[in-house]
Each structure stands twice: as C-alpha cells, then as structure tokens.
C-alpha cells in the first residue's frame, strides 16, 4: 500500500526544514507523537493518548537535499513493513512538503484502515508544520 501526501507552505524550504528536518524532534510538530528522540539512527516515539511506543530506523538523512527516510521497527501498529520519506522542496509559493510511505499489514482490511490513519497523521503534521513555519 502507498500513501502520498503533500502540502504547500508559504515559508522558505529552509525555514520548513529547520523545524521538520530533525527526525528526533518530530514530537514538536506532529500531534500524533507526544515524545520523540534519536539514539544513533533509531528514533523512539511515544504516540499521544497512550497509543504506545514505536521505534524507527533513520536509513537516510540528507540536509542538502532536505529529506530523510525511515523504517518502522517495532510498535503498536500491525505492520509487516513500513518505509517512509519526508521531504521539503522549493515551490513558487514557498515550500512543498512531500510525505510518502510504502507499507504492508496483515490483511487488505488492515492496510486500508492504516492507510487512512497514517494519511491523517501526515496531514495533521504538515498543518502544524505550516503553522509553525509561517508564525
């Protein structure tokens, strides 16, 4: 299953990347995560509302290209695999954020439900990121 979300933000790509480009501080702008930190290339995240703990491996991080890629390792979601890319690019109106994922779950029904939930998490995060970058 694939997820492709994007949002134009009326701030420079550099301003957006300063907020969103550190995988360890995602809790500062992603409402679904209440705590996060990096330990080497492993991101530890605590889902809001008692949703549990997850670990993800940062497999690529490129400040010049303004993107990072991560893979889900452990956590409460019933995922067989999950690989996601967060990227900030230039846009005539400022910056554009692309957040994509490819994943698999136990069943097509689980995949459909997870796709909807993950896309919602991405959209909420990008809205918060936009609000912070343009404040």
d(CA 29, CA 18): 12
Assign 135 a pLDDT band (cuts: 50, 70, 90): confident
Q: Can you give the CATH number for the domain in which 82 is found?
A: 3.30.530.20
d(CA 54, CA 48): 11
Residues 131, 28: contact at Cβ < 8 Å?
A: no
**Ranges of H-type helices in the chain:** 13-20, 108-133
pLDDT at site 127: 97
Phi and psi at residue 134, to the nearest 5°: -105, 0
Q: For all residues of the chain together, what is the average pLDDT?
A: 96
CA 23: distance to chain centroid?
Answer: 8
CA 6: distance to chain centroid?
Answer: 11
Mean pLDDT of 43-65: 97
Q: What digits encode the pLDDT tens for the residues 102-116?
A: 999 988 889 999 999
Return the structure tokens found at 123. 């959209």
Q: How many domains would you assign to the chain?
A: 1
Q: Is the pLDDT of residue 9 over 90?
A: yes
Residue 64, domain extent:
2-133
Assign 33 a pLDDT band (cuts: 50, 70, 90): very high
Assign 86 a pLDDT band (cuts: 50, 70, 90): very high
d(CA 98, CA 105): 23
Longest pairwise C-alpha distance within the chain: 42
Which residues lie closer than 8 Å to 39 by C-beta, 6 or more apart?
A: none
């Amino acid at each position: 299953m694939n997820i492709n979300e994007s949002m134009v933000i009326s701030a420079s790509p550099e301003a957006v990347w300063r907020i969103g480009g550190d995988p360890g501080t995602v809790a500062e702008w992603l409402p679904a995560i209440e705590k996060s930190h990096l330990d080497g290339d492993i991101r530890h995240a605590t889902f809001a509302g008692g949703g549990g703990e997850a670990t993800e491996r940062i497999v690529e991080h490129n400040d010049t290209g303004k993107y990072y890629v991560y893979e889900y390792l452990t956590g409460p979601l019933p995922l067989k695999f999950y690989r996601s890319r967060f990227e900030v690019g230039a846009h005539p109106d400022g910056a554009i954020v692309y957040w994509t994922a490819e994943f698999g779950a136990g069943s097509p029904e689980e995949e459909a439900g997870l796709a909807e939930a993950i896309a919602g998490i991405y959209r909420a995060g990008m809205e918060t990121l936009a609000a912070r970058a343009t404040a």
